[in-house]
Amino acid sequence: MSDAKMVWDESNKVNAGTAQGQQSLMVEMDMWAWKANTPWPKGTTLKDIIHAYAESRGWTQEGFTGMEIYDPFWDWQED
């Protein structure tokens, strides 16, 4: 392997870009298909559509913001 190739590979690791995974793409495609078959009032925002889609799939939970800290150590502890 040439030095230039090795430097290029290491540089790409350090400055890695983001990539969308297969699962994310499949969820997005499913959401757009679901949206096309659902009537929406004019002025509905994308945020409202995403929230309605998540609710229709059962992905929302009451009182859960997504910012909670999960610590598996404490799951088995009893008071």
Residues 17-71 have pLDDT tens digits of 777 788 888 988 999 999 998 888 888 898 998 889 988 888 887 777 666 666 6
d(CA 31, CA 11): 36
> Does residue 35 fall inside a structural domain?
yes
3-state secondary structure 49-62: HHHHHHHHHCCCCC
> Does residue 68 fall inside a structural domain?
no
- What is this structure's pTM? 0.53
> Does residue 1 fall inside a structural domain?
no
Tokens 């889609």 belong to which residue? 53
d(CA 17, CA 20): 10
Backbone angle region of 8, left / alpha / beta, with phi > 0 → left and psi within -120 to 50 → alpha: alpha
**Range of 46's domain?**
20-58
Quote the pLDDT of residue 78: 60
> Does residue 2 fall inside a structural domain?
no
> Does residue 13 fall inside a structural domain?
no
